[in-house]
Every structure is written in structure tokens, then in C-alpha cells.
Amino acid sequence: MSSLKWWESAVIYQIYPRSFNDSNSDGIGDLQGITERLDYISGLGVDAIWISPFFKSPQKDFGYDVSDYCDINPDYGSLDDFDALIAKAHNLGLKVMIDIVPAHCSDQHPWFEESRQSRDNPKADWFHWVDPNDDGTVPTNWLSFFGGAAWSWEPRRQQYYLHNFLSSQPNLNHANDEVRTALTDVARFWFDRGVDGFRLDAVHTINGDIPPYKNNLAKDDFVLGVLPQQQQPFFRQLHDTGQLNQPNIQKFSEAFREVADSYDGDKFLMGELHGDDPVLASRTFTQEGRLHATYNFNLLEWAGLDVNGLKEAISSAIDAFNGTGRLTFAFSNHDVPRSGTRQLDALGLDISQQEAMQLLLLKLEISLIGSTCIYQGEELALSDVRDIPLHKMQDPWGIEFAPTFLGRDTCRTPMVWRADQPNGGFSNANETWLPVAEAHLSRAGLDEAEKDASVYNQMAAFLKWRKSQPAMMSANQMSALSGDDSQIIFDRISDTQTLRCCFDFKTLTASFEEI
């Protein structure tokens, strides 16, 4: 039926490996644990999996601080375990995407360990090293997303280095052609092992400009307050004026696309990005010869969105990309509170309506143009976990700002599989890396897969039906949104079918009619 490439309509299941399934009883999820649960994922009817980082790493930011891009962190297994995972996934008809972190690495990566030693070693300019201002202060007003300045002092070089996140995550210098070559070699390494695509982490934070760097400008109407994120000092600045979305980034996206296009099988590049003007940034990154699609943040609002907010978020993206597959929508991921909780508050619903609401949100995002990312546990309507004791928190962002802000641990607690097993079937260990949520046990994955009326099985039935609808599978075209304050209505359109899609947030039901 479909005239689209697989990724233009894909439903992608995101796995946070540390919290998915533990096969060796150490309290930490691993690659073999993922392999053990691939039948569960396949049973949903999704098209692909995306696995968050599992590379060698000191785990200060749980894999987003890479110390070796071409090997597996021992917590997660080995390259042989990965090869077994990808073989089983492909046998089940699942594509495999992995998470590449191109903007920064760990300060324990050999590249940085060499670079920081002196100003004249072979890796001396693989990172952003800048002399202090005449008064000794940092080179620019740039701030770190995790708090404080985006510059740290290295006494051996007598220079500052740039980090947009933790000080242990130095930014690579993409003005250096050797850095770009090293990263395209990483892409080839994983493509050669059979990977079908990459989710490219925070590509808007790649820095490829050369000194003198420009200061960020300030927002006129910004008000400081307690977190969530939009009210911390980082968001007081307009970043695209200096720090982020620099034009030189596109040399990286073009180089990665060239590598992807050299392989058979429609390899997929999905970039996670944001900006002062997200639509403009997405258009720039998906121009011909660059990334295939961008991971859209519009539905990931930390506090959730009411129906009119959902309409506005969807419309702003659709207006720019209608007729293309260059968008990937998501309601949840490993960085924001679970939609099963935050959307209850935003939509004025109560806890008894959580499952019906979650299923409605899943059907809505899957019915939009482009691809969709489902975060592990959404198919179970899992709630956000906000009672983690402070001494058991792991997320460096949450630890920095607790107790007024709990960070990302709330959406990263271990998956549960069987209510009657230790740790909900996640692990046989005495203690898991984050506590297992007692509230999740009533919706354990394998238990729910055996219940006909569960969110899991209703979602699976919807995905099976969707695959038979030309309007959703053979074209990425949809009408403008309509409906009253409790409805979202639009048509999906192909040459052979027009399908009216209605999502009612009073009755929490979806209906579809061929017109």
C-alpha cells in the first residue's frame, strides 16, 4: 500500500535501557534484557525501536556523556549482546535506531583527556578552548542548561572550555574537520553492524563557530521563578543569537546524511533540536541533503497542554511541514514528566480517566503526519513518579535543583513486567538503580498484554487497523485542525482515501470516518 519510505510513517518505541529490563540481576537494565522483551514490543505492532545511549560512559549523565562511541558500557553488556539484539529485532520486522551524541562527549573520553593536556597536542583544537577576558572572566555570557556558566577552567592550558550541559560534557569543536570525520566514522561503525538509523541528540547544541564568540541576547519579557525549566536563568537568553543553532552545524548534518545515503535500506536520521524559532530551526536542519526529520518538541510541554494548546502546538508544526515526513511527534520521553500525569492536570481530568486519556493521546499523535515516538510505558498508561526519596535521586539536573524541581528521574523509574514478581519483574537484584514504583505494579507490561481491554491491546489493535488505511500509510497530507474547545478534528488525505479523524476530550474517545 505505502509509497512512503518506512520512516515517513513509522511508529518508534523508545527504550531507556537502564530502566527497561535487567537480565543479570545487578539492578540495571541491559541489552540482553531488551532482547528478552522484543516480542512484547513487536506485539504492539510498532515499526522500530530507538535505544537511548548504551556506549561506554562514566554515567554522570547516564550515557549522554560518552567515553567511547564504538563500544558498550559494561552495565549494558557487550557488542555481542548488541549484535544478538539487532538480529532478533530484524527477525521480528523491527528497525533499530540508536542515540548518537554528536555535540559533546565525556571529559573521560581519550579525545578530551589528550586535548586538555596542552595547547600543541594532536587533539588540541578538538574542543572549544578560549582565553579568559582581560579581567579573567569567562569568554561569553553563555549558560549551561544544567545551571551555571557554560565555561570551565582548565589550569593545564590556562584556558576555558565550553560545555552546554555538565562540566564533564565538553563540547566538541565542529569547526575542526577531523572532529566531523571522527563522528562520521562512528556512523559507519554502527551502520555496518546493521543499525537502521540514528536519533541525533541535541544537534542544535553543536558548536562550530570560531572565536570571537557572540554573547546571547536577553529576552524582554522573561520572569525568573521556580523550575520547571523555562524559568531558570538559561531560558532568560535568546540562544540562537550566539550559542545555539550556529550555521556551521549544517556541515555536520550534511556529512552524516552523505554517510547514511551510501548505505542501502533507507537509513534514517532524526535530529533532536530546539531553538528560539523551532520551526525555522527544523526547516534548516531538514533542507535537501541534511537530516530526514526533526524530533518535534511542541507536544512535550513540561506542564502539559489543554485542548487549545494541543491544537496550537500541532498546527504550528503541520503548517510548516504538511505533505512531508520531516516531523517526528512525541508526548513523552526520558527528559520530561510522563504524559499520563502531566496531561491529566492540563486537561482538567482525574486519575480515574488516566488510561482513557493516554489511549486517546496515543491515537492522536499516531494519526498525525510523519513519524511518532512512543516512550516505554506509555502503552501501559504509566504515571509520573514524584515520590522518589531525595537520597535515591540519580539525575544530576534534579539533584542540582531539588527539592523544588525533581528533574528527570520521575519518568525514568524501571519498567514493571509482572506484579507478583520481585521488583515488578524488572530485576532480581536486592536494589534497583532507581526505585520501582509501587503505583506501576497494577499496570505491569506482560500482565497487561494478557488483558484484552488493556491500553496495550487497544493500542495494538489501533496500529493494526492503521496499517490498512491509505490516508495514513501512503501520504503525509492532512487538513487544518478544527473542532470546539474539547475536540481536535482533521482529515488525513491520500489519492484513494480521505479519513476524518475526531478526538473528543470530553468523552475521551477517538472516531474515524471515511468521507
Catalytic annotation, residues: 201, 272
Angle, to 10 degrees, between the axis of helix 455-466 and the axis of helix 354-367?
A: 20
Burial class of residue 9, CB neighbours in 10 A (0-12, 13-18, 19+)? buried
Answer for the pair 17, 433: CB distance below 8 angstroms, yes or no. Answer: no
Exposure b/e, 402-431, CB count within 10 A at least 16 = b? beeebbbbbbbbbbbbeeeeebbbbbeeee
Q: Is the alpha carbon torsion for 280, 286, 287, 290 positive or negative?
A: positive
CB atoms within 10 A of CB 392: 12
Angle, to 10 degrees, between the axis of helix 339-347 and the axis of helix 354-367?
A: 100
- DSSP category for residue 489: E
Burial class of residue 472, CB neighbours in 10 A (0-12, 13-18, 19+)? buried
* Beta bridge partner(s), residue 268: 197
Phi, psi angles (nearest 5°) of residue 141: -85, 15
Residue with cell 534497583: 432
Residues, the chain: 515
Angstrom distance (rounded) from CA 81 to CA 34 = 10
Answer for the pair 493, 471: CB distance below 8 angstroms, yes or no. Answer: yes
Grid coordinates belonging to 23: 537480565
Peptide bond into 403 cis (omega under 30): yes
Q: Which residues contact 33 (CB under 8 A, 6 or more apart)?
A: 17, 20, 21, 22, 23
